[in-house]
Amino acid sequence: MIPARAAWSLLAIGAAGDVITTRAGLAAGAQEANPFVETTVATAGIGELATVKLLAIAGVVLAWAWAGEIDDAPRNVIPAAIGVAWLAIAAWNAAVLAGGVT
């Protein structure tokens, strides 16, 4: 089982890493690869990106709360899994910034 503090820390660190590396990449001339948000993200500042992440985190909190209604649900997997995904995205963004990915 994943401790709650670790799960929510992964989520917060992943969200921050994604926002920071996305903004840095866009400032350096990289393009957003997600066609659904390409225009929005390309014109967003760090405040707007952080707001979008906070809304996503609110969705995670709702899913986490709902999972508490299920007997023996591993609720902390929800924020931990999303946090790990955002950390992976931040790592990819960092690799693009470092010139390791074209």
* Nearest-angstrom CA–CA distance, 86 and 64: 17
CA-based nearest residue to 98, from 44, 21, 36: 21
CA-based nearest residue to 42, from 31, 55, 53: 31
User: Contact at 8 Å (CB) between 11 and 60?
Assistant: yes
- Domain residue ranges of the chain, discontinuous segments joined by +: 4-97
pLDDT in tens, 10-43: 999 999 999 899 888 888 888 877 776 777 777 7
What share of the chain in percent tops pLDDT 90? 25
Query: Residue 71: is its pLDDT beyond 70?
Result: no
| Contacts (Cβ under 8 Å, ≥6 apart) of 81 | none
When comparing pLDDT for 63 and 71, which is higher?
A: 63
